[in-house]
Structure 1
């Protein structure tokens, strides 16, 4: 197989979008491969793509209404058949069932990537119903963790566990340029736990000049900013919005704090570890524990244990030797999550 179509709702700022952009660029760089990205809803492409990747938007609207989705999926079938692809890879659990449905009868194999928490149900309920009915018809299922594979085996027995690949990063090894910054990166929605991190930071009475820096945007940003004001933390909490200079921002920070309440496989945590940052995270159901070996490659705290999280964070702030040890050990992900290694695994799975 050397003709690949990837299907995404958009290529905006987000974890799945970042992974797909890395895979597209790596696959198209292999001689003989042809790659097309189909976006169900027109949106700004936040991530850079190789000029050899063909991009097609099916609907001239950022809206994800049911009407727009049905319209886009009808156009999808025609687009896929006309391009004479060898395989289709769909990378969003909400739309995977509908991509499968739209291509029934074409004879084109469809692989779906489900990046959701293995115990979460899709909403509305009709989406969960379609997932149960249609996932078994896919050629294969791609998940991020062993736990997810175990839980979702009932949906499709042909499963690949594929951790997120690392993007190409600029590693800065000069520790002298670092500042007393605790950084958090991620889309600002309720599941990412930004309110929880602000609360934890407020529990540390003597902050010693440390700042908490949020990178990312989303529907919860205004609420989080209001909460910061309520706690009188505006002088020590910074909001930078969505940024493209992530490597530089990570490099000048001293700690990465992660408080997601639910995860698939956290890109932000992965990239912080690759940069050599000491990381502290809630041990939510899936994701962080696949990357962090508690006490050796980072710190895991029981979900919603705010007191323990604050204690461990304060300890990291005060202990430079511990920060150096955890940060150095975290760099193992540079080899484990190498993009070439993961691309090879994906292509082997598709072609077997």
Structure 2
């Protein structure tokens, strides 16, 4: 079996992490595992196994005929049978399918605004979906949406999985050891850093020696500026640190005690799974699949989105109760190891691939 993961970039986002994780995991399980980044390379290229065949297209427009020809030739040269297309790369996968009808296209839907699916534009996607053999959806809302709105007959829910990052330790976090909270999220409105900052400002009134650490890409846009302004407004510059994107996630998480997600909307966040692997106590909002990942009231704390008082109370509960924090962290770690392991999800993916190659 030979399979190509198709992804727009290798920047440090959730869909990109999944594509790299799957490509790496498959490299030990099938004859040929490949990955193609269509538009941009990025930090995650470092994480790609040397056993994965790699292609970068440097695609510059929607209909880039040079990129289409290059990818088509690569697929024929390596006798690739399946394109596993992630997020918006479905369009290029469909074009390749039209050039080679024997190719199987599986689309992986990572849509992050699953709380606002009624606003999702699906014209091109709906047309392309008749060429998909199967759709993987990262949460159950997306699975239902695909069944109701797209033309592919086979749709299943596939939880994300995380792996321990093997990049050599580089980043040293500021703040006092044993008193750090981390938020692993790009600086996008759906991640709602503003509510997190408001909550943390409340926490600091009782626990001034704790610090908050944001790991994720800034897009240098109005939202990033609003975060900077909020940090200044709340006088948090000596307690909140933003590091941008970093490759050594596991090293960073091992320097923290609490992992937090304050999102307004999610699919199934890789960050939450990574918190579990790193044995952090977690606080997350009740969006996407966060509730199903945490699964039990003693595995973590769930709060309503856009509610800074609720979020501050949850963080304070962990800070003020170290034994409870440790207990929740260990329970959550076992939950992630049992239900969101690489082994379990790769078995499901391989089973799906094989069912269409018969």
TM (normalized to structure 1)? 0.87
Q: How does 1:1-352 map to 2 (within 5 A)?
A: 2-30=1-29, 33-46=31-44, 47-59=46-58, 65-66=61-62, 72-73=67-68, 75-92=70-87, 94-104=88-98, 106-107=100-101, 108-116=103-111, 117-118=113-114, 120=116, 125=121, 128-154=122-148, 155=150, 156-168=152-164, 179-204=178-203, 205-219=205-219, 220-284=223-287, 286-293=288-295, 295-331=297-333, 332-352=335-355
Q: Secondary structure at the match of 1:300?
A: strand
Residues 278 and 324 of structure 1 are in contact (CA less than 8 Å); yes or no, is this contact kept in structure 2? yes
Match of 1:173 in 2: none
C-alpha distance in structure 2 between counterparts of 1:142 and 1:247, whole Å:
27
Q: CA deviation at 1:145?
A: 2.2
Q: How far is the alpha carbon of 1:211 from its aligned partner?
A: 0.6
- Structure-2-length-normalised TM-score: 0.86
Shift of 1:233: 0.8
Secondary structure of the residue aligned to 2:206 is coil
Q: Secondary structure at the match of 2:55?
A: strand
- In terms of fraction of residues, the more helix-rich structure is 2
Matched length: 336
Is the deviation greater in 297-306 or in 111-120?
Answer: 111-120
Q: Shift of the alpha carbon at 1:342?
A: 1.2
CA distance in 2, matches of 1:272, 1:39: 27
The runs of 5 or more residues in structure 1 that have no matched partner are 171-176
Residues 273 and 333 in structure 1, CA contact (< 8 A), matched pair in contact too: yes
The CA RMSD over aligned residues, in Å, is 2.4
Q: Spell out, residue by residue over 1:52-98, the C-alpha distance to the aligned partner (whole angstroms, 9 max, x if none).
A: 21111112x6x5x4455x65345433433343211111012x23134
Runs of 4+ in 1 over 6 A off after TM superposition: none
Unaligned runs of 5+ in 2: 167-175
